[in-house]
């Protein structure tokens, strides 16, 4: 079990955990995405935010306090949620002391449009119980932040969640732990990955094993959701993967928004390489990405005929690039005569949604 360094900040009745760079990165991504998700989804309905491994609710660097994930959801909702609508924040943690601390933190973040529920339970059992209880209508759109520190999560729990169609998931996938278990041939992986197929990967090494594991996990999730993308987060100290943040959604808008958020908090990059790893300028990077996508379209999509959104669905699922990069690439193709665009949604030179694209 991970040991957290904690302290009481001046004047606080609750403790905070020491904040590290990678938790901060994860939190910025969460905040950015919820900032877009809340206003769109709360237009007509109340929303649920589930925090599966909720934590103590507060972090520190020196004498400054930073919010934990359930508190980030509350703060973003206060700024971006629609008036007259409600957010239920359901926080689950298996540690009673952590739950008690979180309860004190949430008490300081009360708001008339937010209801808090703290469930002291392990995630697998707690969530299954909540999903079958009548007070959580399955029709209400729900965002799940699932942030385990290791392999303490059953794939069957994820499939149970994904039966509800209006759900989105952001989950932390600790690749190192998985790789170690493959080496040790641990049966724990059967329930974590929801398949026994990982045994075929045990003779693979390095990046080939890593890519194969991520393909396997992604494929598992894709049986239940349309868009699944694992965002890679590197360790800053060593040149290795620290974890993946896997986004699971049934909506193109969700998939493109997460891509935009990841890129915007990461200087235009689609893998987080740690604070000090910023070699290319954003301008160089975007130019490079546009020509990459153009090449991808030439190699894989010649003959495509359909709406721009259909093409975007293909690209978001198959490449790490953003909507704006695809749009530029299609425009370049149009200029060079490799794309014919018939404007339906856009006026004049734009390219969007229902515009018809033919790649020749
Ligand atoms: C990485 S921390 C969560 C941090 C939090 N999500 C945030 O970003 O602020 C992991 C938390 O999961 C809790 N935990 C560990 N195993 C769990 C399980 N099986 N079910 C629920 N909570 C668990 C731990 O007590 C710890 O508070």
Check pocket membership of 100 for ligand 1, CB cut-off 6 A: no
Confidence of residue 130 (pLDDT cuts 50, 70, 90): confident
| Average pLDDT rounded to a whole number, residues 283-300 | 84
User: What confidence score (pLDDT) does residue 288 get?
Assistant: 78
C-beta of residue 239 within 8 angstroms of C-beta of residue 206: no
C-beta of residue 252 within 8 angstroms of C-beta of residue 227: yes
User: What confidence score (pLDDT) does residue 9 get?
Assistant: 98
| Average pLDDT rounded to a whole number, residues 213-236 | 93
Check pocket membership of 70 for ligand 1, CB cut-off 6 A: no
Check pocket membership of 119 for ligand 1, CB cut-off 6 A: no
Model confidence at 277: pLDDT above 60: no
User: What confidence score (pLDDT) does residue 282 get?
Assistant: 56
- Alpha carbon distances (Å) from 128 to 5, 162, 295: 31, 12, 45
C-beta of residue 317 within 8 angstroms of C-beta of residue 304: no
User: What confidence score (pLDDT) does residue 238 get?
Assistant: 62
Q: Ligand 1 centre and the CA of 51: distance in Å?
A: 9
Q: Which of 55, 75, 143 for mutating ligand 1's site (highest number of atoms within 8 Å of CB)?
A: 55
Check pocket membership of 127 for ligand 1, CB cut-off 6 A: no
Check pocket membership of 94 for ligand 1, CB cut-off 6 A: yes
Residues in the chain: 360
User: What confidence score (pLDDT) does residue 279 get?
Assistant: 54
| Average pLDDT rounded to a whole number, residues 20-45 | 95
Confidence of residue 268 (pLDDT cuts 50, 70, 90): low
User: What confidence score (pLDDT) does residue 239 get?
Assistant: 73
Confidence of residue 165 (pLDDT cuts 50, 70, 90): confident
Each residue's pLDDT tens digit, 79-113: 999 999 999 999 999 999 999 999 999 999 999 99
C-beta of residue 227 within 8 angstroms of C-beta of residue 316: yes
| Average pLDDT rounded to a whole number, residues 333-340 | 96
Confidence of residue 281 (pLDDT cuts 50, 70, 90): low
Residue nearest to atom 25 of ligand 1 (CA): 95
Q: Ligand 1 centre and the CA of 265: distance in Å?
A: 24
Of residues 267 and 348, which shows the higher confidence score?
348
**Three-state DSSP class for 75?**
helix
User: What confidence score (pLDDT) does residue 248 get?
Assistant: 98
Each residue's pLDDT tens digit, 168-216: 999 999 999 999 999 888 889 999 999 999 999 999 999 999 999 999 9
C-beta of residue 101 within 8 angstroms of C-beta of residue 15: yes
User: What confidence score (pLDDT) does residue 275 get?
Assistant: 61
Q: What is the atom index within ligand 1 of the atom nearest the CA of 68?
A: 9
Q: Ligand 1 centre and the CA of 146: distance in Å?
A: 9
Model confidence at 159: pLDDT above 70: yes
Confidence of residue 135 (pLDDT cuts 50, 70, 90): low
User: What confidence score (pLDDT) does residue 332 get?
Assistant: 95
**Three-state DSSP class for 183?**
helix
Q: What domains can be seen in the chain, in order of their start residue?
A: 6-272 (3.40.50.150), 282-359 (1.10.10)
To the nearest 10°, report the CA torsion of 138, 225, 356, 328. 110
| Mean pLDDT rounded to a whole number for the chain | 91
Q: Which of 1, 49, 76, 93 for mutating ligand 1's site (highest number of atoms within 8 Å of CB)?
A: 93
Check pocket membership of 245 for ligand 1, CB cut-off 6 A: no
Check pocket membership of 95 for ligand 1, CB cut-off 6 A: yes
Express as a percent the part of the chain with pLDDT over 70: 92
**Three-state DSSP class for 227?**
strand
Confidence of residue 140 (pLDDT cuts 50, 70, 90): confident
Tell me how far apart the alpha carbons of residues 299 and 321 are, in angstroms, rounded to a whole number.
16
User: What confidence score (pLDDT) does residue 186 get?
Assistant: 83
* Pairing outcome for strands 15-18 and 6-8: antiparallel
Model confidence at 164: pLDDT above 90: no
User: What confidence score (pLDDT) does residue 264 get?
Assistant: 87
Phi/psi for 150 (5° steps) reads: -150, -130
Q: What is the atom index within ligand 1 of the atom nearest the CA of 122?
A: 20
Q: Ligand 1 centre and the CA of 98: distance in Å?
A: 9
User: What confidence score (pLDDT) does residue 242 get?
Assistant: 87
Check pocket membership of 230 for ligand 1, CB cut-off 6 A: no
């Amino acid at each position: 079990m991970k040991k957290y360094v904690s302290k009481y900040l001046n004047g606080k009745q609750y403790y905070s955990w020491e904040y590290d760079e990678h938790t901060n990165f994860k939190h910025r991504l969460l905040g950015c995405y919820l900032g877009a998700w809340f206003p769109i989804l709360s237009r007509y309905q109340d929303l649920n935010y589930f925090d599966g491994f909720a934590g103590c609710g507060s972090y520190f660097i020196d004498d400054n306090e930073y919010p934990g994930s359930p508190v980030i959801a509350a703060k973003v909702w206060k700024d971006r949620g629609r008036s007259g609508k409600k957010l239920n924040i359901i926080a689950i943690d298996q540690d009673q002391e952590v739950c008690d601390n979180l309860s004190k933190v949430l008490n300081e973040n009360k708001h008339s449009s937010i209801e808090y529920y703290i469930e002291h339970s392990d995630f697998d059992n707690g969530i299954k119980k909540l999903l079958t209880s009548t007070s959580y209508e399955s029709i209400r759109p729900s965002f799940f932040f699932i942030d385990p520190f290791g392999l303490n999560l059953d794939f069957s729990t994820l499939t149970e969640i994904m039966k509800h169609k209006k759900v989105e998931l952001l989950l932390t996938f600790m690749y190192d732990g998985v790789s170690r278990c493959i080496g040790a041939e641990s049966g724990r992986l059967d329930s974590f990955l929801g398949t026994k197929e990982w045994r075929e990967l045990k003779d693979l090494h390095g990046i080939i094993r890593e890519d194969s594991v991520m393909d396997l996990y992604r494929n598992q999730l894709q049986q239940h959701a349309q868009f699944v993308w694992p965002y890679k987060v590197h360790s800053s100290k060593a040149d290795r993967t620290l974890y993946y943040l896997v986004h699971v959604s049934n909506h193109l808008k969700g998939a493109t928004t997460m891509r935009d958020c990841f890129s915007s908090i990461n200087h235009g990059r689609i893998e987080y390489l740690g604070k000090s790893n910023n070699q290319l300028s954003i301008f160089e990077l975007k130019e490079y990405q546009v020509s990459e996508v153009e090449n991808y379209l030439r190699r894989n999509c010649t003959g495509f005929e359909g709406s721009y959104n259909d093409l975007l669905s293909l690209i978001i699922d198959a490449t790490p690039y953003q909507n704006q990069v695809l749009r530029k690439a299609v425009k370049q193709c149009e200029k060079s005569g490799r794309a014919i665009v018939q404007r339906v949604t856009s006026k004049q030179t734009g390219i969007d949604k229902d515009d018809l694209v033919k790649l020749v």
